[in-house]
Amino acid sequence: MKKPIHILLLFIAVNASAQSETFNKRTIISGLNDAWEVVYGPNDSLWITENVSYKISRISLGATPVKTEVLDLSANTSTFSSGTRPQGGLMGLALHPNLYSSDPIERNAKPWVYAAFVYDKAIPNSTCANPGPTCVFSTRIVRYDYHGTSLTNPVIIIDNMPGSSDHNSGRLIIGPTIEAGSDAAHTQYRLYYTIGDMGAGQLTNTSRTENAQNVNVMEGKVLRINTEDDGDGALDSWVPNDNPFYTAGSITPRDYVYSLGHRNAQGLAWGTVSGVPRLYSSEQQDRSDDEINIIESGKNYGWDQVTGYCDDNVNGFKIGQNTNPDEQNFCSATVTYKDPIYSTWFESAANMAALYANGNNSQWPTIASSSIDFYWQNKIPDWNESILISSLKQDKVYRIKPNTAGTDVLTLPNGMDTISYFRGDGNRIRRIRIHPDGLKFYVARDAGTIMEYTYTGVTLSATFLKFEGKLISSGVAELTWDAVTDQQHDYFELQRSVDGTNFITLGRITSAPYKFIDQSVQAGSNYYRVKQFDKDGKSIYSKEIKIVYDPSRAVITTYPNPVSDFLNVRISAAERTQVKTILTDIEGKVIYSRTGIYGPGTSDIRIDMQKMPAQIYILKIQNNNNEVLVTQKILKLQ
């Protein structure tokens, strides 16, 4: 447990911690109604949701940003076009990682965009009596297809989630790696979604039940959801079977739950600190104790039994619907309880009565954190592995640096644990989003603007631009990366771990193109990362990638491509495997089909394409479970 520090810290931190780094700034768009989510998209774009007008748009960046609407969801607001509105409304947005691929086959295989929005109100167009149950809304998450113009083909992933005039939370992100499951269909990227406590116990929701501690209700939770149908049928198609409260059989709200005990977590971002990937979140609390948490499967984050650290500072004061909290008693009785790693800011027990007597919320020691993003680019001195936190109550974005252990934050160059940025341009900052170049920062404000701040100071020596890996034959993986380096750069090491924690160095790479062949991929999970060394011994890590290797599954390679006469398909399998090879034209007409049994070892199929017209073909290879092992575009030359 972290010991409370006197409230004076608040005033020191707020007044004496502004940035020393220099930035240029410009407004890239204004007149939004209002920007809620800002996602960095393919082809140097921003994708945004407008939470009042219910529009999803793409903004191309560059010298003259251009906004293009891709979806109008305003028909969903008919039941609250007047009267009390939901908080948020159109909220989270996430783009499937395939959309960022340069390969059109990969993009078109999973061209998915996910959005979370409130779509219904129980008593249409009512004002909400205080107290009363009339401000009950419903929320859904929908998946769309994107092929370059608009969002089409809606598929509802979760319907009829709770909604409210308060504390919907609504942040929606996709994990950074493909997450392992029991088979190919259950091995996929996963969505993480924050759903708040609906404002239970305050304002128009004074009489609403507080459900953050009730695992059977989807309120006050982080949910974990499939990005694609896992084949289990009905609702279970969208539920990961390894969720902590999952039980086979009929699906109920608890099956979606990843963590519980949350009040209003509007910030969610994956970040890797010293090689350990973690899911960080920011969470608004009540009078004090706004939190930064590390979200883990099955953990309980305390609300409405604990707020901030488990330090008894609110004992005797109402939090949520709990009129008699006893923080340390709850924490010692709850083995899954997890403290925040940081609080912005807290109040001592001795001063709590004065705080509760103060009805002016602008004077409460809270920042109303609205979003977070993780800085991994190592461009700005000291910034690598920082978290940026946007704040509704202050005209600021805060920077903190989580420690390696994931238990606290480090002291920054100003001698404090925060530094604030991007001040002086307006209050109610809704979203902070970092450009992958590590130099540009996007700040959305409720006034309807998105501003771009570009760092103009000295930059550091190396930045990873990408890191990718794939199996190229049985037990052999190819790892490639790009990096920008300067004269301080010395060399790279490629490292592998089978447990995600203990890494071994496989080799040292000194010159571009940066590539390493791992000849001894282990059965099961293989985590890879690149460590970059400067000449003075300082080092940084790339992001981590995971390759799951099942020796019983065949590995396919094809060559050459483009092809002018014969296409070679090499099948590498540790055991006898039935493989179906299909070649179609771009319309799907089958040109060639062959089923054979191959392995153990390496076998070659030779497809004679000499007489086939010069055009694009699609090669698809499936095993006898109809799992697609390869989908590849083949270009036939004259």
Does 302 participate in binding Ca ion (rule CB under 5 A)?
Answer: yes
Q: Are 413 and 384 a contacting pair, CB within 8 Å?
A: no
CB of 167 to Ca ion, least distance (A): 14
* 155 versus 506: smaller Cβ distance to Ca ion: 155
CB of 327 to Ca ion, least distance (A): 5
Beta strands in 352-484 (DSSP E): 369-375, 386-391, 397-400, 419-421, 429-434, 440-445, 449-455, 463-473, 476-484
Does 366 participate in binding Ca ion (rule CB under 5 A)?
Answer: no
Sheet holding 112-121, edge to edge: 90-95, 112-121, 136-146, 151-164
Q: Are 289 and 313 a contacting pair, CB within 8 Å?
A: yes
Contacting residue, 239, 397, 429, 450, with Ca ion by CB under 5 A? 239
* 281 versus 474: smaller Cβ distance to Ca ion: 281
Q: What is the DSSP string of 232-257?
A: S-GGGGGS-TTSTT--SSS--GGGGE
* 307 versus 497: smaller Cβ distance to Ca ion: 307
CB of 321 to Ca ion, least distance (A): 16
Nearest to 95 by CA among 145, 169, 154: 145
CB of 293 to Ca ion, least distance (A): 7
What is the total count of residues that contact Ca ion (CB under 5 A)? Answer: 12
CB of 618 to Ca ion, least distance (A): 29
CB of 239 to Ca ion, least distance (A): 4
Residue 625: DSSP 8-state: T
Phi, psi torsion values for 634, nearest 5 degrees: -115, 125
* 346 versus 442: smaller Cβ distance to Ca ion: 346
Contact string (CB under 5 A) for Ca ion, positions 312-341, x = contact: -x----------------------------
* 30 versus 328: smaller Cβ distance to Ca ion: 328
CB of 312 to Ca ion, least distance (A): 7
* 166 versus 291: smaller Cβ distance to Ca ion: 291
Strand, helix or coil for residue 343:
strand
Angle, alpha carbons 428-54-209 (nearest 5°): 70
* 92 versus 308: smaller Cβ distance to Ca ion: 308
Contacting residue, 50, 120, 179, 236, with Ca ion by CB under 5 A? 236
- Binding part of the chain for Ca ion, among 43-51, 173-181, 294-302, 441-449 by CB under 5 A, reads 294-302
* 234 versus 504: smaller Cβ distance to Ca ion: 234
Does 230 participate in binding Ca ion (rule CB under 5 A)?
Answer: yes
* 194 versus 495: smaller Cβ distance to Ca ion: 194
- Binding part of the chain for Ca ion, among 61-69, 237-245, 400-408, 453-461 by CB under 5 A, reads 237-245
Does 373 participate in binding Ca ion (rule CB under 5 A)?
Answer: no
Does 347 participate in binding Ca ion (rule CB under 5 A)?
Answer: no
What token pair was written down for 554?
């065949």
Q: Are 464 and 479 a contacting pair, CB within 8 Å?
A: no
CB of 91 to Ca ion, least distance (A): 21
* Separation CA 582–CA 593 (nearest Å): 4
Contacting residue, 146, 301, 455, 541, with Ca ion by CB under 5 A? 301
The residues, ordered by sequence, that sit 6+ positions from 287 with a Cβ below 8 Å of its Cβ are: 317, 347, 352, 355, 356, 364, 365, 366
- Binding part of the chain for Ca ion, among 162-170, 171-179, 311-319, 564-572 by CB under 5 A, reads 311-319
Does 365 participate in binding Ca ion (rule CB under 5 A)?
Answer: no
CB of 332 to Ca ion, least distance (A): 14
User: Taking the chain, what is the end-to-end CA distance rounded to the nearest angstrom?
Assistant: 71
Does 308 participate in binding Ca ion (rule CB under 5 A)?
Answer: yes
Residue with tokens 């502004």: 18
Q: Are 125 and 81 a contacting pair, CB within 8 Å?
A: yes
Does 179 participate in binding Ca ion (rule CB under 5 A)?
Answer: no
Contacting residue, 166, 290, 311, 385, with Ca ion by CB under 5 A? 311
- Radius of gyration over every alpha carbon of the chain, rounded to an integer in angstroms: 26
Does 232 participate in binding Ca ion (rule CB under 5 A)?
Answer: yes
CB of 203 to Ca ion, least distance (A): 21
CB of 609 to Ca ion, least distance (A): 40
Per-residue HEC secondary structure of 355-381 comes to HHHCCCHHHCCCCCEEEEEEECCCCCC
The letter for the amino acid at 557 is T
**Biggest alpha carbon distance in the chain?**
86
- State the residues that interact with Ca ion by CB under 5 A: 230, 232, 236, 239, 241, 301-302, 307-309, 311, 313
